[in-house]
Chain A
Amino acid sequence: MELLNNLALGFGVAFSFTNLLYAFGGALLGTLIGVLPGLGPVATIAMLLPSIYALDATPALIMLAGIYYGAQYGGSTTAILINVPGESASVVTAIDGYQMARHGRAGAALAAAGLGSFFAGSVATLIVAAFAPPLTELAFKFGPAEYFSLMVLGLIGAVVLASGSLIKAISMIILGLLLGQINTDVISGVPRYSFDIPELTDGIGFVAIAMGVFGFGEIIANLGRPAEHREVFTKDVKGLWPTAQDFRDMTPAVLRGTALGSVLGVLPGGGALLASFAAYTLEKKSRGRADEVPFGKGNIRGVAGPESANNAGAQTSFIPMLTLGIPPNAVMALMVGAMTIKGIQPGPQVMTSNPELFWGLIASMWVGNLMLIILNLPLIGIWIKLLTVPYRFLYPAILSFCCIGLYTLNNNNFDVFMAAAFGIVGLVFYKLGCEPAPLLLGFILGPMMEENLRRALLLSRGDWSTFMTRPLSAGLLIAAVLMVVVVSLPAIKSKREEAFQDAD
């Protein structure tokens, strides 16, 4: 059994002392930022990227991965206890979870979220391990034309499945692609859009963009809003273990959520956020027992389903990143950046050139999930305390980490100023209702896309039809066009809006 051998190798790596330590650190930090509203995994991972210079590649990636799925656990705590999603993927959890808390069933809701997430995480780890190798095989058959088309599909998918205006989202992708053009052209060596500033000839650091837009921009927007009144159900958290009836209700929801989340995580644009929304809609459509609590009033299925789904989706979204080097969402875009920092070119060759990293990372996901369930259920009291820390202490801390991180990136204050400029840009995006995540995806994929496009054209001697005459490439492009067409159909359009309506 090759799968077992691979997993054995992975667990060997994951169980080394250093890696266990970093998995724990990532899980802990992930829970922390998941619990704190207004600080998401994108900003946190961006904040930590400079510090991974000091680490080896494997522990660094294990830690960053832990932050992403850890945030899914932590986010549910905040959603259930104060009706504010600690993390965007927990938006739907707040609907029924908070109602359960108001009826004194906060413990059962937290347990449903935690146990569901753990089950989903374990299954998703196996899925990643089983599906990554065959996909890698497929990826080796890809030429530049296929890669280009795949990136088009990935970018289109990323916005089609998200909420909000489609044209604006596609515009944001292209804006990101263009920002990625500020660099030195790899083929001719000509510096582009550098305005004779030497730092710009290396391109804008994506850490500066991510921190400026997601870190600074969000802090300013948060401070500009009137302080919200928070009601914390801290005293009601007792009786953590769900009743037998709860278990009977939540088991099918966990299974459905895990399956749905695993599938949606792999899709371009997928990941935790989409998975949780879809799972909530699915739970509302499927029938429970006759006398169950209605949805929106504290139904345990409305917590267990989406929470399982977002954890499964968070993990399976590693598949396209690990096998093809194509990030399906903003967090994975940062993971690609992290690998590049450590000198690893993301793509199908990672599995063969760095097997310890590849399988160690996968195995660490299961280990991390195990740590998370321990961190979250028995230690829930500590996290609840954290919710009472006022924002005025929190944001200077976030700023401090960002500023130091930005400076150490190149031991130069240029990145600090760059991030400040992108803070203004981030606020403009926020005010104009332009979702910034697609921009980051475009920015990461921009240079890769250009290189593949130009190589494909070079190989075909300038014939653009190469993208349609090569069957794999044509299939990918047709899929991208179909996605846009289907989503633009009036009937689907209203359904799509309805699916995201629950968020409000």
Chain B
Amino acid sequence: MKIKSQKDFWSGLMFVVVGIGFAWGATSYSFGNSARPGPAYFPFGLGLILALLGALVLFKALTIEVEGGDRIGGWPLKQLGLILGAVVLFGLALPKLGMAVSLPLMIFVSSLASGEFHVKEVLINCVVLTLGSWLIFIKGLGLTIPLWPSFVAA
């Protein structure tokens, strides 16, 4: 068996796994009957349909020839790590350190992901964006976001 389309093979597999996962998860809730459908009724059916469609995609990926094999190509792991790392860092830091610290931190880390990194530019970007966010979200829209670290504010 040779994989004819890489993209379709993996997406088909993803649909099958997720579909079965949801259907299996639904078995722990009450199914009811069609006159009184329970909480498991809809997700169980949908999960099975998704698994079925996924199998169809898989089948096509193994039988129908695609020019060039539909390769997935390399994964931008460095960018993925830096961008999402920066976001998670922001989420962790904000409640304790406030926006004034966590936002520049996020901007700095995420800027490392671009091919061109100039410290001066990035620092200016940090200042401008943090000031702008303070003006728009805290001053302008009056949203409750911690601004300073909790030990300073207290």
Contacts and interface: CB of A to CB of B under 8 A. Distances in A.
B150 interface: no
B91 A181 contact: no
Interface in A404-452: 404, 406-408, 411, 413, 416-417, 419-420, 423-424, 427-428, 431-434, 449-450
A216 B83 contact: yes
B42 A454 contact: yes
A489 interface: no
A50 B86 CA distance: 20
B15 A417 contact: no
A344 interface: no
A411 B50 CA distance: 35
Interface stretch (A217-225, A256-264, A306-314): A217-225
A400 B129 contact: yes
A482 interface: no
B103 interface: yes
A175 B125 contact: no
A391 B114 contact: yes
Contact of A174 (B49, B95, B125, B130): B49
Interface string A393-406: 10111011111101
B79 A224 contact: yes
Given A175-B50, A420-B91, A181 B43 contact: yes
Interface stretch (A65-73, A111-119, A315-323, A456-464): A456-464
A181 B22 contact: yes
Task: Say what secondary structure dominates the interface of chain A.
Answer: helix
Contacts of A185: 29, 39
A201 to B, nearest CB: 13
B91 A413 contact: yes
B76 to A, nearest CB: 3
B7 A193 contact: no
Given A399-B87, A403-B90, A177 B46 contact: yes
B39 A188 contact: yes
B37 interface: yes
Interface string A152-193: 000000000000010110110011011001000101101011
Nearest to B81: A220
Nearest to B9: A432
Given A181-B42, A216-B84, A458-B36, A396 B18 contact: no
B42 A453 contact: yes
Contacts of A171: 11, 15, 50, 53-54, 57
Contacts of A396: 106-107, 110-111, 125, 129
Contact of A462 (B33, B57, B92, B125): B33
A128 B41 CA distance: 38
A457 B35 contact: yes
A463 B33 CA distance: 11
Contact of B41 (A406, A416, A432, A454): A454
Interface size class of A (residues with CB under 8 A): 35 or more
A396 B142 CA distance: 23
Interface in A210-248: 216, 219-221, 223-224, 227
Nearest to A403: B90
Contact of A216 (B33, B87, B103): B87
B73 interface: yes
Interface in B40-84: 41-43, 46-47, 49-50, 53-54, 56-57, 60, 70, 72-76, 79-80, 83-84
B88 interface: yes
A457 B106 CA distance: 50
B84 A424 contact: yes
Contacts of B50: 171, 174-175, 178
Nearest to B107: A396
Interface in B7-36: 7-8, 10-11, 14-15, 18-19, 22, 25-26, 29-30, 33-36
Contacts of A223: 76, 79, 83, 113-115
A402 B80 CA distance: 16
A494 interface: no
A190 B106 contact: no
A175 B18 contact: yes
Contact of A404 (B83, B84, B92, B99): B99
A352 interface: no
Contacts of A419: 87
A407 B7 contact: no
A227 B46 CA distance: 41
A69 B7 CA distance: 34
B114 A431 contact: no
Nearest to A434: B11
B11 A392 contact: no
Interface string B94-119: 11000100010011001101111100
Contacts of A167: 53, 56-57, 60
A354 interface: no
A449 B41 CA distance: 13
A51 interface: yes
A382 interface: no
Contacts of B36: 458, 462
Contact of A424 (B80, B115, B116): B80
25 contacts: A50-B143, A54-B141, A165-B57, A171-B11, A171-B50, A175-B50, A181-B22, A181-B46, A190-B29, A192-B26, A223-B115, A396-B106, A399-B107, A400-B107, A403-B106, A407-B94, A417-B91, A420-B84, A420-B87, A427-B75, A431-B72, A432-B14, A433-B7, A454-B37, A457-B37
**Nearest 7 A/B pairs, CB to CB:** A224-B76, A462-B35, A416-B91, A462-B34, A185-B39, A413-B91, A392-B114
